[in-house]
Amino acid sequence: MTINVFKQASAIGMRRAIVLAPILWLAGCAGPRSPGTGSRAGGAGLRKIVVSPQQRGEVVLTAMGLLESQYNYGGSHPVTGFDCSGLVAYVFQNAVQESLPHNTAEIARLSTPISRKHLKAGDFVFFNTLGRPFSHMGIYIGDNQFVNAPSSGGRVRVDSLLNPYFAKRFESARTLFAS
């Protein structure tokens, strides 16, 4: 009798895991909310950050140095892994000593929109991957390529803006760099 109870409990747990796994995977890398950064439309409570254009190379080199790091939802360090906003926050903290929130929508609010044709290395690219604005992001490195932490079980990698998956979901190009 007790063995059957354990089997039933195990089966229920497995069903929950099967149901929750895709939800967690789809949660992608919007990232946890950062305390004190504001969440209202318009970016209430967010400051504007302006980075010197001379630091673009350092941003790209730092991002490229993290290729193959493990993906981890909510992650923000090479040892524990990254999600997309954790990767971007880590890169900017280490490359240019600027603290960014660990949330794609908040990073979008504090950055400046630019035309896609004006993208330069170190700028941000944003995607709607979950049916909501700014649910994924990466760091543009030039030649239609960007570094990102794409999904559960994956690794930090370079993808193309021309890849049909990302091309269909491209939402915005933005920057923190002074013109």
Q: Fold for domain 29-175?
A: endopeptidase fold (from Nostoc punctiforme) (3.90.1720)
Model confidence pLDDT, tens digit, residues 72-84? 999 999 999 999 9
Name residue 140's amino acid.
Answer: Y
Which of residues 43 and 104 earns the better pLDDT score? 104
- 140 vs 13, 16, 147, 167, CA distance in Å? 41, 37, 6, 14
Cβ atoms of 26 and 130 within 8 Å: the answer is yes
**pLDDT of 8:** 45
Domains in the chain: boundaries? 29-175
Cβ atoms of 112 and 172 within 8 Å: the answer is no
**Dist. CA 54–CA 7, nearest whole Å:** 61
Model confidence pLDDT, tens digit, residues 111-146? 999 999 999 999 999 999 999 999 999 999 999 999
**Dist. CA 89–CA 71, nearest whole Å:** 14
**pLDDT of 179:** 84
Does the pLDDT at position 48 exceed 70?
yes
Look over the chain and give the mean of its residue pLDDT values, rounded to a whole number.
Answer: 82
Crossing angle of helices 56-64/84-96, nearest 10°?
130
pLDDT band at 155 (very low <50, low <70, confident <90, very high): very high
